[in-house]
Structure 1
Amino acid sequence: MDWRSLIIVFWSVFLAEIGDKTQLATMMFSAEGRDPYIVFIGSAVALILAAGIGVVAGNWLSTRIDPSYIKMVAGAGFIIIGVWTLFSR
């Protein structure tokens, strides 16, 4: 097992998810008095499924497009969303 890659992926995803809309939605569901175990299971399964789709799509794309282009498009997308967020009301 490639422990270095596992640690890098874990911390990258963990830090990206802290305070994002997914976590806020999960907190909202729990704060509404829903069963916290059901909220946890539902959100955990959804995140696992979303990550699985990302892994499959990324693996498929990497066989057809140079991964450096995928990285540049993803980075540009994040910058565009960030600028839009800064200047939108």
Structure 2
Amino acid sequence: MDWKLFVTTFATLFVAELGDKTQLACMLMTAETRKPWTVFFGSSLALVTVSFLGVMLASFICQYVSPNIIKKVAAAAFVVMGVLIFFDKM
């Protein structure tokens, strides 16, 4: 296992997810249901599944598309989303 990659991935996703809407949704669900372990296991499984799908899709796409093109498309998508959010269209 590439421990440097593992730690970098963990740290990047940990910081990115800290305080986002997913964490807030988990907090709200736990507060409403008072079942923290059920919410924890459900949200953990959802995040693992989404991460798995992202990694598998990236593995497939990278066979046919250059990583530079993927970065540029992702950057453009984030800019478009940012503009839409800025103008309250999203």
**TM-score, normalised to structure 2's length?**
0.88
Give the drift of 1:74.
1.2
Return 46-55 or 11-20, whichever deviates more. 11-20
Q: Which amino acid aligns with 1:42?
A: G
Equivalent position of 2:14 in the other structure: 14
Give the drift of 1:34.
3.4
Q: Which aligned segments of 4 or more residues in structure 1 are displaced greater than 6 angstroms?
A: none
Cα separation, 1, equivalents of 2:3 and 2:63: 24
How many residues in Structure 1 have an aligned counterpart in Structure 2?
89
Q: Which runs of 5+ in 2 are unaligned?
A: none
Cα separation, 2, equivalents of 1:41 and 1:17: 17
Q: Which runs of 5+ in 1 are unaligned?
A: none
Q: Which amino acid aligns with 2:67?
A: P
Cα separation, 2, equivalents of 1:80 and 1:7: 30
What's the % identity of the aligned pairs? 42
Equivalent position of 2:70 in the other structure: 70
